[in-house]
Structure 1
Amino acid sequence: MNVVHSEIDDPCWESVKAQIGRIRRAFGASSVTCGVLHRGEPVFHYAEGLADIRTQRVADADTIYPIASCSKAFTAATCAALVDEGLLSWDKPVSSYLPEFQTVNNAEVSQEATLVDLCSHSTGLAPLDHAIIGFHDSYLNDAADQVKISSNLPVLCDFRTAFVYNNFMYGVVGEVISRVCNKSLGSVMADKIFEPLGLLRTHVRTADYPLDGNVAQGYSVLDDGSFLAVGDPEIQDGSVHAGAGLVRSTVNDMLRWAKAVMLAEKQQLSTDPQDTSMKRNLLPGVAFTRSARTHIVPDSTEGENSYGLGWFRHTIPSRWLGSISPNFMLLPDPPVIGQHSPERLAICHYGAIGGFLSALYTFPETCSAVVVLANSSPSRGDPTDLIAQCLCQELFDMKPRVPLEHFALKAAETSKLIWPALVRNWVLARDKTDIVPVPIDYIGTYRNSGLQLRIDVFESQRSSARSLGRQQYDLEPLSFTINKQARQTAKLKHYHWDVWTFLPNTRDDASRKGMELYMALPLVLLSFVRDNTGQVRWLDWDLYGGYDQPELSDAVYTIDPVRFDRISSAAFN
């Protein structure tokens, strides 16, 4: 039976602008910019706030923002183009292109996993992002290491049994593309997508930004509402995880991209030989990437909630919209738009990276799209998620109208509770002993060769010594550095037993030290392990940190802390 969808002849965009402003202010975002496409034509553009506070540059539809995980659709489309040319196959094991991709904790993945498995997040390998992303959202290793690191990821669930969102797998896909084309992923993407579609302000490297300076600066928001500028994301062409989030774009270019995708999809799915919706198919195979592959919610009684290749698929109404948005953890009872309206398929994606957020919805039935970009910290919640839903319900006259600004206020308030909860857990889990082990016991170098990680523990400069009677007691006698990178250094104070901690003093300190991704107790504790002679031989760090996927199959495995072998007891120089 055909469903007739209602639409507003003249949406009340002025009212929507007011809602956008309230949502932006609730999260404290410096700027948001958005656009709407309907029946193939732009029908709404709006931007407010500053793309760059220092220069007072106002955001607009041509301002460049990193789009983070919304890049995955570009990576999948690049694969599809290469499949069309016969350079890649969706059916061959990835290891046939990258023989070094040998998954040590589940050999079945390297033996059988195809590009479809990697792009649909169905390998079952754990998304151990903290093994590659350190303080200040900086990468701990180079792109040359990512296949080996990906091969050594632990197993979260059995192969092809569940949706496990994993940026490493898109990094590996990027390496496959680079290997078969003998040039970088970004160069191939530009050849196959950016240039043919005329995406002139879409880039994969900061070095390629235009000279006009219309580029957003990323920000974290401090407790007093002031802004802390953060560095441009290191993820770009030639970096680790490039395939997962290298693209930087604008609202105008993203609307062009969405239109091209939907027109190509319509042509490829058409059974009408007279269909000439595109004279030349500029995105071969893109319809394949947008078809359902993995259920993100097993055994759901709701409509479709699945993942394709770089695209989420949701039948609205759905509580799973924005399921990887920071808001999903902040709103246990998320908004559900369109509950009293006909069902509608949305094919979409969301993105979050240090200082930036993005949301892209496409509705192929009406060739409609919604794009929202912001330069705001994910740790404070996600304005793009709720603004995008606000635009969707206005465009399609969804009933009832959900007051999404109320959810914005709730998410923003909940985000403020994360730090106090972390401190409370830190205090309650601690054995308050006054006995501090001899710090020299822990000094040395520790290594996990599979994940290409090295931790050097050394004596701190005595800048935090406190006078206790006749004694001088250093509250943070030790420090550690990851992979010999100066920015990956933090001081350690004794927590209890052989466990040491680097929890910052305040939430603002965490922001200034680039530790906003470390808002879970396991992530701020280093556990040293002794052998039967009493000597410290290992270091354990729970880099998974209790990360939670929305839903998983029953075949879920425990993710143990990462173990580092002590290879030297000499003080770090």
Structure 2
Amino acid sequence: MQKITILLLVLFHSLLACAQVDVVALDQYFQQAQKDWNVPGLSIAVVKDGKVVLAKGYGVLEKGKTTKADENSLYAIASNTKAFVSASIGILVEEGKLHWDDPVQKYLPYFELYDPYVSKHTTVRDLLCHRVGLGTFSGDALWYKTNYSAEEVAKRVKYLPQAYEFRAGYGYTNLMFIAAGEVIRAASGQPWDVFVKERIFKPLGMERSQTSTSALGNLSNVAIPHKSIYGPSEPIPYAGWDNMGAAGGIISSVSDMAKWMNLQLNQGKFEGKTIFSAQTQEIFWTMHNSNRVSAAQKQRYIQRHFSGYALGWGIADYAGRVVISHSGGYDGMYSQVMLVPEEKLGIVVLTNSMTGISPNLCQYTVDRYLKLPLKDWSKEGLSGELEHQAERRKIVETRKIAQVKNTSPSLAPSALVGKYHDPLYGTLEVKIGANNQLELHFPHGPQLDATLKHWHYDTYEIQWKENHAWYDFGTLQFVTDNNRKVIGIEFDVPNEDIFFEEIHAKKL
């Protein structure tokens, strides 16, 4: 009898905790935010004390269509994949198949960075916390819409420049998680995606989750990406991210992600199954790389004292609690996962737009559960988003204004034609196509092919043959020596992620 009474009391307090927040009001707030931000569609799940208290979609799967988003709609979660990769590494550590501080070269003998000492001493742990010395997003042009395999991408990392001292700074690098995926393959005998499906998706019942866009053709209820970095949303096709899948390739629904969040909030256990131990999770959530907390951040986030990166997760404090979170950015889709372990609270927001709505809705939800003073995070975030979009447009417009009108190229097209080679990226080709139009060809990424239209002097506008999510305008300059012989090409493609400027191709 006493045990039954205790169980009833526990159940009562659990239900009371969930009831403390008006979920209907949350639902209305999310609905209004989707309209205010003019986001085509999004889906949200909130878990509390092991229960899913809300799982719902808002808006539509594709702009101009009528099919509604719901809790089972699939979206690319992008860099929220990184926590799955860290979890996979943790599982392998528990099985004794590798160790956190093993040198990467033990599993990938070809692995090299900018310095022999760093190459030799970079560990599996280092791959997962952005401290190897590479700049943020440096090298993303290596994998973006190229046919390089994950292994080939990892082999070319050695050509990237050092941005800061080894283990003495922060540079968010997708390439190291690509390498981590290859470590999983070497240690387990399975590709990272197969490992994740068998060891995480299957036991959690994440039945709709996928690891490649190639699987989406046979599925229904799939959200369509939208390009929206400059403002109004425009539907675009899915981009293949298979070669960088370990850094951002998972596609999931909020219903499935709710299970993932409850696994995390229950220290590696889910419905009686242990996926990884509580001790291993402590390692996932231990800060390995600290960030400076600015005055603006302290003002924006209540009682913010520290911020940094753990292993596949961001970590910070907020109003006296530790917050574990991560964002994701895919071509046409942004997402956010936010966990407050002490409250057993988790929120996931998946969207089919490239706007910052997700973290603001997560933060608003956290505030409601912590009973903090009411703050309209959506309104404040939307103001910042519009400013950011304006800044992006201004960067492009500044380049367009700088165009010198009525100039002519000093070099004949025949002098520009040929192959150009960059050790990092490989070979590019300039050729003359239909109607005597100069064309830029990417042998390793034909989706990036473009025509070249004279801009000014010996600089040409890159007119992409396909629509790309992160950028549109760009120019290509032909570089000459003192004798007017073409010796190379240099890019200027303004955007925040895919740095064509890292390609310095010399004419062969």
1:39 equivalenced with 2:10 (yes/no): no
Cα distance in 1 for partners of 2:252, 2:311 equals: 20
**2:435 counterpart of 1:462:** yes
2:32 is the counterpart of 1:14: no
- Matched letter for residue 348 of structure 1: S
Identify the residue that residue 131 of structure 2 maps to in structure 1: 122
Structure 1 counterpart of 2:417: 443
1:4-54 Cα distance to aligned partner (Å, 9 max, x none):
xx9785323333333323322233222111111112212223321112457
Following superposition, the deviation at residue 121 of structure 1 comes to 0.4
- Is 1:292 matched up with 2:291? no
Of structures 1 and 2, the one scoring higher in RCO (CA 8 A, sep 6+) is 1
**Matching of residue 493 in structure 1 with residue 446 in structure 2:** no
Give 4+ residue runs of structure 1 displaced > 6 Å after superposition.
298-301
Instruction: Tell me if the contact between 2:289 and 2:308 (Cα under 8 Å) persists in the aligned partners.
Output: yes
Give matches, 1:396-435, under 5 Å. Answer: 396-399=370-373, 401-418=374-391, 420-432=393-405, 434-435=407-408
1:370 equivalenced with 2:347 (yes/no): yes
- Is contact 2:433-2:439 (8 Å) kept? yes
Secondary structure of the residue that 1:264 maps to in structure 2?
coil
Letter matched to residue 375 of structure 1: N
User: Counterpart in 1 of 2:315?
Assistant: 313
| Aligned twin of 1:170 | 177
1:480 to 428, 436, 440: 440
Structure 2 residues not aligned, in runs of 5+: 1-15, 299-303
Counterpart contact for 1:64–1:248, Cα < 8 Å = yes
Q: CA deviation at 1:215?
A: 2.0
> Using a 3 Å threshold, how does the CA distance of structure 1 residues 424 and 198 change in structure 2: closer, same or farther?
closer
Q: Unaligned regions of 5+ residues in structure 1, if any?
A: 1-5, 268-276, 317-341, 464-476, 505-509, 549-558, 568-573
Per-residue deviation, residues 344-381 of structure 1 (Å, max 9, x unmatched): 211011111012121111111121101111111x2xx2
TM-score by length of 2: 0.86
Alpha-carbon RMSD across the aligned residues, in angstroms, is 3.0
Would you say the 8 A contact 1:479–1:492 is kept in 2?
Answer: yes
User: Counterpart of 2:66?
Assistant: 56
Equivalent residue number for residue 517 of structure 1? 470
Is 2:65 the counterpart of 1:92? no
Correspondence for 2:13: none
Find 1:343's aligned residue among 295, 316, 320: 320
Question: What amino acid does structure 2 have at the position aligned with 1:106?
Answer: D
Q: Distance in 2 between matches of 1:361 and 1:536?
A: 51
Q: Percent identity?
A: 23
Supply the distance in 2 between the matched residues of 1:68 and 1:222 (Cα, whole angstroms): 16
Matched residue, 1:250: 253
User: Which letter maps to 1:414?
Assistant: E
The verdict on how the C-alpha distance between 1:513 and 1:211 changes in structure 2, with shifts beyond 3 A counting, is: closer
Match of 1:332 in 2: none
1:281 alignment partner in structure 2: 274
CA contact (8 A) 1:7 1:397 kept: no
CA distance in 2, matches of 1:65, 1:112: 37
The residue identity in structure 1 corresponding to 2:236 is: V
Moved more, 292-301 or 163-172: 292-301
Q: Which residue of 2 aligns with 1:75?
A: 85
Partner of 2:301: none
1:542–1:561 CA contact under 8 A, matched in 2: no
SS of equivalent to 1:534: coil
Sort the Cα spacing of 1:199 and 1:484 in 2 relative to 1 into closer, same or farther, 3 A.
closer
Q: Which residue of 1 aligns with 2:150?
A: 143
Question: Contact 1:539–1:563 at 8 Å: present in 2 too?
Answer: yes
Does residue 1:304 correspond to 2:264, yes or no?
no
Describe the shift of the 1:20–1:447 C-alpha distance in structure 2 as closer, same or farther (beyond 3 A): same
TM-aligned CA distance change 1:99 to 1:7, over 3 Å: same
1:211 Cα deviation (Å)?
Answer: 5.8
Which structure features the higher share of helix residues? 2
Q: Does 1:232 align with 2:205?
A: no
- Residues in 1 aligned to 2:33 and 2:363: alpha-carbon distance in whole angstroms: 11
